[in-house]
């Protein structure tokens, strides 16, 4: 089955989530100082604090999440992030996971299904944030990964290729924000002064997506 070919046995149910959340927590904490500096340069300075709060809340749901199917788990994650993170990122990421949960009701957890689920989440951020690629936001990481997944799903690429492409797309997308002007949020008021700085949301999105790819690779 394509499900096992791409995801491996450990992602056929939500027991994959607790170790994944723990790995994401560790990666964000390991890069906390860098992310804070990025956000202080052109943002509100609270992005990583809010994200850590949200991840801590998710880690307390481990016993509950493993009892849920993927749709319900995504919905629970989304509602938890909305209620605990605060800031624009909490609303956006919460909306993303709620939308993913709705889409997961209609999809198998194989490459095509994961692609559709992820795309639904990205589209919800675009709609809620009224933003798109090229505006120096987390979407500059998220959208290239969506496009990479869509391309690999069409080509029925193998697992190693899909995961390598996710990491490459996320990293290139994140790095692209350095030379962009910002058109959303506090950074939009800085004009040319926003150039030369990577967007903090793009950086945390890249870190998270790379952790997910690494965890899937190990399973």
Task: Provide the CATH number for the domain around residue 122.
Answer: 1.25.40.340
Q: What are phi and psi of 70, to 5 degrees?
A: -65, -40
In a domain, residue 117? The reply is yes
Q: Is residue 3 part of a domain?
A: no
Please report the pLDDT score of residue 2 as a whole number: 38
Query: How many domains, in total, are found in the chain?
Result: 1
What distance in Å separates the CA atoms of residue 40 and residue 56, rounded to the nearest whole number?
22
pTM > 0.85? yes
Distances (CA, A) of 10 to 18, 124, 215: 12, 27, 10
Residues near 170 by beta carbon (within 8 Å), at least 6 away in sequence: 141, 144, 145, 205, 206, 209, 210
Residue 184: its H or E element:
none
> CA torsion sign, 159 to 106 to 124 to 87?
negative
Domain assignment of residue 4, yes or no: no
- What pLDDT does residue 6 have? 56
Residue 94 lies in a domain: yes
Is 5 part of any domain?
no
pLDDT for res 3 = 42
Q: Is residue 2 part of a domain?
A: no
Residue 31 lies in a domain: yes
- Is 84 within the bounds of a domain? yes
Domain, as residue range, for 162: 11-218
- Sequence-separated (6 or more) residues with CB below 8 Å from residue 218: none
- What's the pLDDT score for residue 189? 47
Q: Provide the b/e sequence for 152-166 (b: ≥16 CB within 10 Å).
A: bbeeebebeebbbbb
φ, ψ for residue 130 (rounded to 5)? 50, 50
CA–CA separation, 46 and 53 (whole Å): 11
Q: What is the pLDDT along the chain (219 residues), one digit of tens a residue?
A: 334 455 554 566 899 999 999 999 999 999 999 999 998 887 777 899 999 999 999 999 999 999 999 999 999 999 999 999 988 889 999 999 999 999 999 999 999 999 999 999 999 999 998 999 999 999 999 999 999 999 999 999 999 999 999 999 999 999 999 988 666 665 554 555 556 789 999 999 999 999 999 999 987
Say which DSSP state 181 is in: P
Instruction: Output the pLDDT for position 185.
Output: 63
């Amino acid at each position: 089955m394509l499900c096992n070919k791409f995801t491996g046995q450990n992602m056929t149910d939500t027991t994959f989530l607790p170790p994944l959340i723990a790995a994401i927590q560790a990666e964000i904490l390991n890069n906390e100082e860098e992310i804070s500096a990025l956000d202080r340069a052109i943002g509100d300075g609270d992005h990583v604090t809010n994200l850590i709060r949200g991840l801590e809340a998710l880690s307390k749901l481990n016993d509950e999440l493993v009892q849920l199917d993927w749709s319900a788990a995504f919905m629970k994650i989304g509602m938890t992030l909305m209620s605990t993170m605060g800031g624009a990122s909490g609303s956006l990421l919460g909306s993303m996971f709620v939308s993913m949960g709705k889409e997961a009701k209609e999809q198998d957890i194989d490459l095509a299904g994961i692609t559709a689920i992820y795309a639904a989440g990205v589209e919800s951020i675009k709609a809620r944030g009224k933003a798109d690629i090229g505006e120096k936001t987390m979407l500059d990481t998220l959208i290239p990964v969506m496009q990479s997944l869509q391309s690999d799903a069409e080509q029925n690429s193998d697992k190693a290729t899909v995961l390598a492409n996710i990491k490459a797309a996320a990293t290139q997308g994140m790095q692209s924000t350095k030379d962009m002007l910002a058109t959303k949020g506090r950074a939009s008021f800085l004009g040319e002064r926003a150039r030369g700085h990577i967007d903090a949301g793009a950086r945390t999105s890249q870190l998270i997506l790379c952790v997910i790819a690494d965890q899937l690779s190990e399973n």
